[in-house]
């Protein structure tokens, strides 16, 4: 395994929740500076991978390495501060304005000066005048942009996005997809994106990792999936995703 | 200029050294009235007098006179012998010489004996030819309605019936004030009373003669500090022998009827010496302000303590586990103890006794549950995505609590505090039971006198206060709950 090229390495990582197996022992390398899209039907374990990476769940076996450091309880807090995490409904704190949500961690660490909130707003196409609004006063798309700003505020080395567009309606979703692609291109961070939409995965991801029942089925590009499917499930999954045709 | 200064130097000492005296009284009508009479005779003797009305029960007023915060009050010989000296049955002279050793003087008897007695409606007693207790033996059909206390105490109803060999078929306990109403309407025929109760005069009742001298004597006397000016003592002695039972009963009735103790005192002077006395009493608004002030003090202190203790307990109880069940269970159990019982349980504990601390402690304990429970619920119902977001951001646990959890739970916590405050305003009326004052004072004394107006004088302001407290908390909520959390 080449740790230098891989930003994140999972080696023999397994996880079960009571009687259900969420992940079979699994090996995965996430290359630095690239967008890796984790995709698969619900319950395939893609979100579990992300939750393992941010330390919300702990693996039953195996090792997780982030930026060359092993993720264990002691290293968790420091490693988390090098990650930006966005979830489906943003996880914004409703009692704080957008600005406060973005600045929260920087203020806690006394690193306010490192955050250029205007630049973040323009990067995420978020209207400056809405910075002092509360999350409930924003649209769903705007909330996700604030969540992105919060994730990016302290220049994380890796962005972890768990279905960030999952709760948005199609038009807003398309807008944000376009903007996300631009953002990824500009920040050049390592990105792990969890989605259930092959179109989104193909559009945003440099690499696609298709999972099923806690195992990786195939890794590669959409083209490779179409031309050399590892097993019939790959073709089946692609066919079921009608949006692929549109792209 | 100089003559003026000289005049000032002559006049000032007189003003400053005009001798003062402090009169105390216990918390019932008769004591108030006699206190007002004492105040008036002392004022007439040239003293400047303060009357500390309704200080509490015997132990409180006695410690006040022993400690020197009052100079005199009216006590009963039976109480002095039994409660103060613990020597039941000793004579007035013996009491006087015992108390002299403690620096307390005792006046002569004022005249009346305020002891337990049995009363009947006059017409009914006359029709049956009953004048004394032993006459009851021939009337087992009479319905009796003694008070709970009298029915239960060892030297009460059962003992007197046994002593006289009387057996009544229909005996049921009934509240003192309501018992008089029942007696007057003929629902019961006989009840226990104090021989100077106002209702005896008001309803025209016959007090049955205690022909076997069963009941102990409770003759009223002034007790005074021996340091009191002899002129003052002489003034008090002028009251000696001037008030018999029926006169005292009428004075009590006057006080109850007019709600004005000094008016009752004025009636005394009119009847005794035929002179008119100017009546003065604290205006109602001032009394009300005093009650409300004390009420707010009790509620405020206990609520503050409950917040200081309850919120941390609620934080601890928010995490499911044994500690959480213990805290929520414990505060829940406290809530199930009837408030009267809780106060009664606290009173015998040395530190508490009959003090504000007891009232505040009881109110504090009652205020805990809503605050603890709402804090725990507010914290534990924060949506999982928000908890996880806070955790993944890498916030320290202190910052997580202070910046995220508590602000998010604030509306629920405030609702708990509001509930506690409103309950507390209501429960605090019970503080008057142990002399801690507040709006319960007119309610409790009104209940004991069957005086609905007095009850309402406490109950209506207490209800209004509860509403005001509610509105204040609504305003507080608008002020402190972050805009993003407010219901639209």
Q: Give per-10-residue mean pLDDT for chain B (488 aa).
A: 48 53 86 92 90 79 85 91 84 91 92 90 91 90 85 78 88 80 87 88 88 87 93 91 89 83 87 65 81 93 96 93 91 86 76 77 92 95 90 87 92 94 91 79 74 88 94 90 70
Residue B135: Cβ within 10 Å count: 18
- The encoded tokens of residue B206 equal 């016959």
Which among A77, A92, A104 has CB closest to B403?
A104
Q: Which residues contact A176 (CB under 8 A, 6 or more apart)?
A: A141, A144, A145, A164, A165, A168
d(CA B204, CA B266): 22
For the cut 90, the answer to whether the pLDDT of residue A165 exceeds it is no
Which residues from chain B sit within 8 angstroms of residue A104, using beta carbons?
393, 395, 403
Shortest distance between the Cα of A214 and any Cα of chain B, in A, equals: 23
B370, B309 Cβ separation under 8 angstroms: no
What is the reported pTM? Answer: 0.65
Please tell me whether residue B116 adopts helix, strand or coil conformation: strand
- B388 and A104 within 8 Å at the Cβ level: the answer is no
In angstroms, what separates the C-alpha of A30 from chain B's closest C-alpha? 20
Q: Which residues have a Cβ under 8 Å from the Cβ of A51 and sit 6 or more positions away?
A: A57, A162
Classify residue A33 by its DSSP letter.
Answer: T
What chain A residue is nearest to B397 in terms of C-alpha separation? Answer: A77
* DSSP run (H or E) holding A167: none
The answer to whether B110 touches B35, Cβ cutoff 8 Å, is: no
Nearest to A91 among B388, B394, B408 (CB): B388
Contact A56 B385 (CB under 8 A): no
All residues of chain B having their beta carbon less than 8 Å from the beta carbon of residue A84 are: none
Q: Nearest by CB to B391, which of A56, A89, A108?
A: A56
The answer to whether A96 contacts chain B (CB < 8 Å) is: yes
B234 touches chain A (CB under 8 A): no
Residues of B in contact with A150 (CB under 8 A): 393
Contact criterion met (CB < 8 Å) for B389 and A87: yes
State whether B484 and A54 contact (CB < 8 Å).
no
CA dihedral B10, B12, B17, B18 (to 10 degrees): 100
The predicted pLDDT at position B452 comes to 84
| Cβ–Cβ gap A85/B482 under 8 Å | no
pLDDT given for residue A3 in this prediction: 46
Q: Are B425 and B299 in contact (CB under 8 A)?
A: yes
Alpha-carbon span B62 to B374, nearest angstrom: 45
Q: Chain B residues with CB inside 8 Å of A54's CB?
A: 392
Closest partner CB to A56 (pick from B386, B392, B396):
B392
Q: How far apart are CA B452 and CA A78, in angstroms?
A: 70
A130 vs B: CB within 8 A: no
Nearest CA in chain A to B408: A95
How long is chain A? 247
Question: Does A77 touch chain B if contact means CB atoms closer than 8 Å?
Answer: yes
Do the Cβ atoms of B408 and A54 come within 8 Å? no
Nearest CA in chain B to A156: B393
Question: What is the complex's ipTM, to 2 decimals?
Answer: 0.87
Does the distance separating the beta carbons of A89 and B484 come in below 8 Å? no
Residues in chain B with CB shorter than 8 Å from the CB of A95 are 407-408, 410, 482, 484-485
Cα separation of B445 and B454, whole Å?
8
User: Does A233 reach chain B within 8 Å, measured CB to CB?
Assistant: no
Are residues B344 and B353 in contact, defined by beta-carbon separation less than 8 angstroms?
A: no
Radius of gyration of chain A (CA): 18
Nearest CA-CA partner of B193 in B443, B450, B432, B434: B450
The DSSP letter of residue B224 is E
Q: State how far the Cα of B166 lies from the Cα of A69, in Å rounded to an integer.
A: 96
A&B contacts, CB < 8 Å = 61
Chain A residues within 8 A of B404 when measuring between CB atoms: 93
Per-residue confidence band for A239, with pLDDT thresholds at 50, 70 and 90: confident
| Residue A30 pLDDT greater than 70, yes or no | yes
pLDDT single digits (tens) A123-151: 888 999 999 999 999 988 899 999 999 99
Mean pLDDT, residues A19-31 taken together: 89
State CA B335 to chain mean position distance.
Answer: 23
Chain B positions touching A89 (Cβ under 8 A) are: 385
For an interface test with A, give the residue of B379, B381, B393, B409 to mutate (most A CBs within 10 A): B393
Q: Which residue of A has its CA nearest to B483?
A: A95
Q: What does B380-444 look like in DSSP terms, one character per residue? A: HTS-HHHHHHHHHHT--HHHIIIIIIHHHHHHHHHHHHHHHHHHHHHHGGGGGGGT--STHHHHH
pLDDT for residue A93: 93
Question: Rounded to whole angstroms, how far apart are CA atoms B322 and B320?
Answer: 7
- Residue A96 and residue B391: Cβ atoms within 8 Å? no
């Amino acid at each position: 395994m080449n740790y230098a090229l891989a930003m994140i390495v999972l080696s023999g990582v397994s996880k079960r929740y009571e009687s259900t197996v969420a992940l079979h022992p699994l090996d995965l390398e996430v290359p630095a500076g690239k967008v890796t899209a984790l995709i698969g039907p619900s319950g395939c374990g893609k979100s579990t991978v992300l939750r393992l990476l941010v330390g919300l769940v702990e693996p039953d076996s195996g090792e997780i390495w982030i930026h060359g450091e092993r993720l264990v309880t002691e290293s968790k807090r420091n490693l988390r501060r090098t990650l930006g995490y966005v979830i489906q409904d943003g996880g914004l704190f409703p009692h704080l304005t957008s600005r406060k949500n973005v600045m929260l961690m920087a203020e806690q660490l006394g690193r306010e000066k490192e955050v250029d909130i205007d630049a973040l707003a323009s990067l995420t196409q978020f209207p400056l005048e809405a910075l002092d609004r509360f999350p409930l006063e924003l649209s769903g798309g705007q909330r996700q942009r604030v969540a992105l700003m919060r994730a990016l505020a302290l220049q994380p080395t890796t962005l972890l996005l768990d279905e960030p567009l999952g709760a948005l309606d199609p038009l807003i979703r398309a807008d944000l997809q376009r903007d996300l692609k631009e953002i990824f291109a500009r920040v050049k961070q390592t990105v792990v994106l969890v989605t259930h939409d092959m179109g989104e995965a193909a559009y945003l991801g440099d690499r696609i990792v298709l999972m099923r029942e806690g195992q990786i089925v195939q890794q590669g590009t959409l083209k490779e999936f179409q031309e050399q499917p590892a097993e019939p499930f790959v073709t089946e999954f692609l066919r079921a995703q009608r949006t692929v045709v549109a792209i | 200029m100089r003559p003026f200064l000289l005049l000032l130097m002559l006049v000032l000492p007189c003003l400053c050294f005009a001798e003062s005296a402090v009169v105390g009284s216990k918390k019932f009508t008769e004591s108030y009235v006699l206190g007002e009479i004492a105040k008036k005779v002392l004022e007439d003797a040239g003293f400047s007098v303060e009357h500390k009305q309704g200080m509490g029960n015997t132990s409180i007023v006695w410690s006040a006179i022993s400690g020197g915060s009052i100079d005199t009050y009216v006590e009963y010989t039976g109480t002095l012998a039994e409660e103060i000296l613990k020597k039941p049955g000793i004579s007035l002279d013996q009491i006087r010489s015992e108390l002299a050793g403690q620096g307390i003087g005792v006046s002569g008897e004022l005249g009346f004996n305020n002891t337990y007695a049995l009363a009947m409606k006059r017409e009914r007693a006359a029709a049956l030819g009953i004048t004394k207790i032993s006459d009851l033996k021939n009337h087992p059909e009479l319905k009796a309605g003694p008070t709970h206390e009298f029915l239960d105490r060892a030297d009460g109803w059962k003992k007197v019936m046994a002593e006289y060999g009387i057996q009544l078929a229909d005996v049921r306990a009934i509240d003192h004030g309501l018992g008089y109403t029942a007696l007057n309407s003929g629902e019961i025929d006989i009840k226990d009373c104090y021989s100077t109760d106002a209702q005896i005069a008001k309803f025209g009742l016959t007090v049955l003669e205690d022909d076997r001298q069963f009941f102990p004597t409770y003759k009223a006397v002034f007790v005074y500090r021996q340091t009191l000016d002899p002129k003052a003592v002489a003034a008090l002695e002028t009251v000696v022998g001037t008030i018999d039972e029926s006169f005292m009963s009428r004075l009590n009735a006057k006080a109850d009827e007019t709600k004005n103790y000094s008016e009752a005192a004025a009636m005394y002077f009119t009847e005794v010496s035929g002179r008119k006395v100017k009546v003065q009493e604290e205006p109602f608004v001032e009394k009300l302000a005093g009650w409300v002030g004390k009420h707010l003090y009790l509620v405020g202190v206990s609520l503050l303590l409950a917040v200081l203790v309850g919120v941390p307990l609620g934080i601890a109880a928010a995490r499911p586990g044994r500690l959480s069940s213990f805290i929520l269970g414990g505060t829940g159990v406290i809530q199930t103890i009837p408030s009267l019982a809780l106060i009664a349980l606290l009173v015998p504990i040395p530190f508490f006794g009959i003090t504000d601390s007891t009232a505040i402690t009881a109110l504090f304990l009652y205020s805990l549950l809503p605050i603890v429970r709402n804090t725990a619920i507010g914290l534990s119902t924060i949506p999982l995505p928000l908890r996880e977001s806070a955790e993944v951001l890498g916030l320290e646990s202190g910052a997580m609590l202070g910046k995220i959890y508590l602000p998010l739970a604030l509306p629920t916590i405030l609702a708990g505090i509001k509930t506690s405050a409103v309950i507390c305003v209501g429960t605090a009326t019970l503080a008057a039971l142990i002399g801690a004052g507040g709006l319960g004072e007119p309610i409790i004394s009104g209940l004991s006198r069957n005086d609905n107006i007095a009850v309402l004088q406490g109950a209506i302001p207490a209800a209004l206060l509860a509403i005001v407290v509610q509105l204040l908390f609504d305003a507080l909520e608008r002020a402190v709950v972050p805009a993003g959390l407010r219901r639209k």
